[in-house]
């Protein structure tokens, strides 16, 4: 999943972005509101985490621009304004969730995860495709009784394909959602990642769950 | 509860009632007087008729009155009565009256012997004998006619008294009817007035009701509302203007408080969040903990410490818990020492600095507080002046007043920002992104200036130059008292 994080505090920006990456997200960060608005329009993020009070264009203004452009990107607001009126205002202005400072890091990660699930129509943290079972909160994968050990990037890739199970996911989409702007994705990175993931799934008994549609992309589906 | 409408209505109705009663009463009295006068005139005519019918001859008074033409004196009509007396003077000077004649209507009754001279007769009310009806009488003393060639009579002239009385029942009935009509009319008028007055008052008082209604709808959430000034009566205009002025100030104060609460929340909660996230991240991923993260944590803690210390100092200054300890200092030397702390930062930012003032000026002030006040002004100028721009520091003592001013370019400031400069946590940058300043410096400077018995003023010129001036009267009594034993500000 790819997250856009807009925050002007250098300390928070670095620490929270690091925590999100360690949790398997691809994260793009910016300290300026207008840049954040443009990124949100240009890139296919799954969730945006916005500090309300950022220079240039505040968090509410960023969401206003997205909604006017028809962008339905889920938004989690972060702010020190704790009054009920401020929270209601934030949600009425297009936010999907609102977290007041100071917040627990675990809570932030859980709320981002919940927004990602909702983005793909999932209501439960458990994702089951055939014998594959993903726990999106614990970031674990089981194949029948076998527990799979995946790197954060591999898990992120499998989770993304699982959220879109049955759909053809192009390489471009995988690049956009799994890799942040810190990386320089090249075409064989995705191929290699798919290849490694397939081999781990095969070893666990989930052979053929990821199929290639030549020229189109990849599909994760239940093996008949 | 008092009500203007009820008060006006009561007053108007009371006054109107008094007017109606007084008017009706006056009218009744005037009509009564006129009718009575007319009645008395009739009585006088009748009395004169009897007077002219009376004659005297050799000490004997007689009347030859015929009721043929004045049938009212007849016993079968009996609405008018008369009685005639002769006055006889005794040798001892006493006057004795004897009845010489009566009208047929009087029969054997007597009328009261009340009289006056012919040019000033006496009138009076009575109960008529025979009929026992209310009547009115006139009494006249006169000298009956006599033959002037009769010397005996001329030498022994006698006087007579005639009293004529008339039935006034009809007059009384008329007066009662008039009184009744006036009373009924007055009641009707008052009744109509009681209905009409409220209806007349209502439209007149409507603007007052509307203002009251609008006032009742205004609360903390609707302070942007204003009272109409253009369409209200002239009497309400100054009230509405004043209310609008108060609302504006209240709105500004509420906005200021809200802004302060938001800014305070940001300044305190953001570093707390940073600390929490850093710590939780270190716990969750121990490999991230290390010297760099510890240094970052320390920086955040130091920043919070500075903010909290400033807040506490400000609170102490505002509650006069800080006491100034005045001592003689050289103003130029002190300003120079303070500037020395900021000189290198000014150099880094390539500021064109000018320091100007008398080199030797001995003044009495608290050097510690003075340093905090002037130091904050200098820090602001050095940090916010654009790179390569001029900064001027001037000091002087004029007419027992110390004045230190710091001027720098502040092109991003607007005139409406100037009153906010001394608000706690106010910063031009609404996002509060730059973490070096929390927005307490100028508030603290202003608070401590007051402790010194002075003040800090801000002036934004049209050229974009901001001048912050600290003034303190040399002989000013410090606000916190100068006992020499108070808490020092560090």
Q: Is B294 on the interface with A (CB under 8 A)?
A: no
Q: Residue B477 — pLDDT band, cuts 50, 70, 90?
A: low
Tokens of B330: 């050289």
- A69: which DSSP letter? T
Q: Quick count: other Cβ atoms within 10 Å of Cβ A133?
A: 16
Mean pLDDT of B169-181: 93
- b/e per residue, A16-42, with b = 16+ CB within 10 A? bbebbbbbbbbbbbbbbbeebbebbee
State the pLDDT at residue B253: 83
List the 87-126 stretch of A: residues with Cβ below 8 A of B.
100-106
- A169: which DSSP letter? B
Length of chain A: 224
Asked if the model's pLDDT at residue B480 lies above 70, the reply is no
The DSSP bridge partners found for residue A29 are A5
CB distance A101–B284 less than 8 Å? Answer: no
Distance of alpha carbon A37 from alpha carbon B39, whole angstroms: 108
**Which of A11, A19, A106 lies at the smallest CB-CB distance from B296?**
A11
* Residue B207, min C-alpha distance to chain A (Å): 34
Please tell me the least confidently modeled range out of B13-27, B42-56, B58-72: B58-72
pLDDT tens readout for residues A77-134: 998 877 787 788 888 888 899 999 899 999 999 999 999 988 888 878 888 888 889 9
Q: Residue B109 — pLDDT band, cuts 50, 70, 90?
A: confident
Q: Is B266 on the interface with A (CB under 8 A)?
A: yes
Q: Residue B488 — pLDDT band, cuts 50, 70, 90?
A: very low
Tokens of B408: 């720098």
> Mutation test of the interface with chain A: which of B264, B295, B431, B439, choosing the one with the most A Cβ atoms within 10 A?
B431
Q: Quick count: other Cβ atoms within 10 Å of Cβ B440?
A: 26
Mean pLDDT of A140-166: 88
Q: Is A24 on the interface with B (CB under 8 A)?
A: no
Closest C-alpha among A152, A139, A156, A146 to residue A205: A146
**Helix residue spans in chain A (DSSP H):** 10-22, 33-42, 59-68, 84-92, 105-119, 152-163, 171-178, 187-203
Please tell me the least confidently modeled range out of A40-44, B308-312, B343-347: B308-312
Distance of alpha carbon B44 from alpha carbon B48, whole angstroms: 6
Do B468 and B458 touch, CB atoms closer than 8 A? yes
State the pLDDT at residue B470: 95
Asked if the model's pLDDT at residue A60 lies above 60, the reply is yes
Complex-level ipTM beyond the 0.90 threshold:
no
pLDDT tens readout for residues B399-434: 889 999 999 999 889 998 998 899 888 888 766 665
**Which of B273, B275, B431 lies at the smallest CB-CB distance from A103?**
B273
Mean pLDDT of A144-153: 86
- A204: which DSSP letter? T
Q: Is A81 on the interface with B (CB under 8 A)?
A: yes
Asked if the model's pLDDT at residue B21 lies above 70, the reply is yes
Closest C-alpha among B403, B402, B384, B381 to residue B392: B381
Q: Is B278 on the interface with A (CB under 8 A)?
A: yes
CA dihedral of B187, B190, B195, B200, whole degrees rounded to 10: 160
Mean pLDDT of B88-100: 87
- B108: which DSSP letter? T
- b/e per residue, B92-105, with b = 16+ CB within 10 A? eeeeeeeebbbbeb
Do A5 and A32 touch, CB atoms closer than 8 A? no
| Sequence-ordered strand ranges (E) for B401-453 | 401-409
Distance of alpha carbon B431 from alpha carbon A79, whole angstroms: 11
Average predicted confidence (pLDDT) for chain B: 87
State the pLDDT at residue A109: 94
Q: Which residues of A touch B277 (CB under 8 A)?
A: 11-12, 15-16, 19, 103, 105
End-to-end CA distance of chain B: 58
**Which of B265, B300, B432 lies at the smallest CB-CB distance from A11?**
B300
Distance of alpha carbon B133 from alpha carbon A68, whole angstroms: 105
For residues B427 and B261, which has the higher predicted lDDT (pLDDT)?
B427
State the pLDDT at residue B490: 40
**Which of A33, A53, A56 lies at the smallest CB-CB distance from B432?**
A53
Do B451 and B320 touch, CB atoms closer than 8 A? yes
State the pLDDT at residue B475: 61
Please tell me the least confidently modeled range out of B171-180, B194-203, B463-472: B194-203
Distance of alpha carbon B483 from alpha carbon B485, whole angstroms: 5
State the pLDDT at residue B100: 87
Please tell me whether residue A129 adopts helix, strand or coil conformation: strand
Chain position carrying tokens 């934030």: A90
For residues A179 and B137, which has the higher predicted lDDT (pLDDT)?
B137
Distance of alpha carbon B424 from alpha carbon B438, whole angstroms: 9
State the pLDDT at residue B96: 87
> Who's near B236: CB < 8 A, 6+ residues apart?
B207, B208, B211
> Mutation test of the interface with chain B: which of A5, A7, A9, A35, choosing the one with the most B Cβ atoms within 10 A?
A9
User: Crossing angle of helices A10-22/A105-119, nearest 10°?
Assistant: 60
Q: Residue A185 — pLDDT band, cuts 50, 70, 90?
A: low
* Residue B276, min C-alpha distance to chain A (Å): 7
Q: Residue A37 — pLDDT band, cuts 50, 70, 90?
A: very high
**Helix residue spans in B54-165 (DSSP H):** 151-155
Asked if the model's pLDDT at residue A65 lies above 50, the reply is yes
Please tell me the least confidently modeled range out of A62-71, B40-49, B322-331: B322-331
> Mutation test of the interface with chain A: which of B269, B275, B277, choosing the one with the most A Cβ atoms within 10 A?
B277
List the 401-430 stretch of B: residues with Cβ below 8 A of A.
429-430
pLDDT tens readout for residues B347-405: 999 999 999 998 888 888 999 899 999 999 999 999 999 999 999 999 999 888 999 99
* Residue B212, min C-alpha distance to chain A (Å): 28
State the pLDDT at residue B489: 40
CB distance B431–A56 less than 8 Å? Answer: yes
Q: Quick count: other Cβ atoms within 10 Å of Cβ B195?
A: 9
Q: Which residues of A touch B288 (CB under 8 A)?
A: 18
State the pLDDT at residue B441: 86
Asked if the model's pLDDT at residue A152 lies above 90, the reply is no
């Amino acid at each position: 999943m790819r997250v856009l994080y807009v925050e002007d505090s250098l300390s928070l920006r670095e620490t929270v972005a690091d925590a999100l990456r360690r949790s398997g997200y691809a994260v793009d960060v910016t300290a300026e509101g207008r840049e954040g608005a443009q990124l949100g329009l240009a890139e296919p993020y799954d969730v945006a985490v916005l500090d309300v009070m950022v220079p240039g264009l505040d968090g509410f203004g960023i969401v206003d621009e997205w909604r006017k452009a028809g962008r339905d990107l889920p938004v989690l607001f972060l702010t020190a304004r704790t009054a009920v009126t401020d929270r209601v205002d934030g949600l009425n202005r297009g936010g999907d969730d609102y977290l007041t400072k100071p917040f627990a890091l675990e809570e932030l990660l859980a709320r981002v995860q919940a927004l990602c699930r909702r983005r793909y129509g999932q209501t439960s943290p458990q994702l089951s495709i055939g014998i594959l079972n993903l726990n999106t909160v614990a970031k674990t994968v089981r194949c029948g009784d076998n527990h799979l050990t995946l790197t954060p990037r591999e898990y992120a890739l499998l989770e993304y394909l699982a959220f879109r199970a049955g759909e053809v996911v192009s390489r471009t989409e995988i690049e956009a959602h799994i890799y942040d702007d810190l990386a320089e994705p090249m075409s064989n990175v995705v191929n290699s990642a798919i290849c490694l993931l397939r081999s781990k799934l095969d070893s666990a008994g989930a052979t053929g769950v990821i199929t290639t549609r030549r020229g189109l992309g990849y599909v994760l589906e239940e093996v008949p | 509860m008092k009500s203007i409408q009820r008060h006006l209505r009561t007053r108007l109705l009371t006054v109107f009632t008094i007017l109606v009663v007084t008017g009706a009463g006056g009218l009744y009295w005037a009509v009564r007087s006129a009718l009575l006068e007319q009645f008395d005139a009739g009585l006088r005519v009748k009395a004169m008729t009897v007077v002219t019918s009376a004659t005297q001859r050799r000490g004997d008074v007689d009347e030859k009155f015929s009721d043929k033409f004045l049938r009212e004196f007849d016993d079968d009509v009996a609405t008018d009565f008369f009685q005639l007396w002769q006055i006889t003077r005794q040798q001892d000077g006493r006057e004795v009256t004897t009845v010489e004649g009566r009208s047929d209507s009087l029969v054997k009754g007597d009328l009261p012997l009340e009289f006056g001279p012919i040019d000033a007769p006496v009138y009076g009310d009575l109960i008529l004998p025979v009929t026992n009806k209310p009547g009115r009488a006139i009494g006249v003393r006169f000298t009956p006619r006599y033959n002037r060639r009769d010397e005996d009579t001329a030498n022994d002239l006698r006087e007579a008294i005639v009293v004529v009385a008339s039935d006034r029942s009809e007059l009384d009935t008329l007066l009662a009817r008039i009184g009744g009509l006036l009373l009924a009319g007055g009641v009707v008028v008052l009744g109509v007035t009681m209905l009409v007055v409220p209806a007349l008052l209502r439209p007149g008082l409507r603007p007052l009701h509307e203002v009251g209604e609008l006032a009742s709808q205004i609360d903390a959430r609707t302070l942007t509302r204003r009272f109409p000034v253009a369409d209200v009566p002239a009497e309400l205009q100054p009230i509405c203007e004043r209310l609008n002025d108060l609302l504006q100030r209240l709105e500004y104060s509420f906005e200021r408080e809200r802004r302060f609460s938001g800014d305070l929340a940001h300044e305190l909660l953001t570093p707390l969040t940073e600390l929490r996230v850093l710590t939780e991240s270190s716990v969750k991923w121990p490999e991230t903990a290390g010297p760099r993260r510890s240094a970052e944590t320390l920086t955040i803690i130091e920043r919070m410490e500075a903010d909290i210390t400033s807040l506490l100092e400000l609170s102490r200054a505002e509650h006069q818990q800080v006491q100034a300890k005045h001592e003689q200092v050289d103003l130029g030397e002190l300003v120079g020492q303070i500037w020395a702390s900021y000189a290198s930062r000014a150099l880094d930012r390539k500021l064109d600095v000018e320091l100007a003032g008398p080199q030797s000026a001995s003044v009495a002030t608290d050097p510690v507080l003075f340093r905090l006040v002037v130091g904050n002004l200098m820090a602001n100028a050095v940090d916010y002046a654009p790179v390569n721009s001029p900064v001027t520091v001037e000091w002087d003592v004029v007419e027992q007043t110390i004045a230190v001013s710091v001027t720098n370019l502040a092109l991003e400031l607007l005139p409406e920002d100037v009153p906010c400069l001394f608000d706690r946590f106010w910063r031009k940058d609404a996002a509060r992104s730059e973490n070096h300043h929390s927005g307490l410096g100028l508030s603290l400077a202003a608070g401590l200036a007051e402790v010194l018995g002075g003040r800090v003023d801000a002036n934004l010129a049209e050229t974009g130059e901001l001048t912050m001036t600290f003034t303190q009267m040399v002989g000013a009594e410090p606000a916190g008292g100068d006992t020499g034993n108070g808490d020092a500000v560090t």
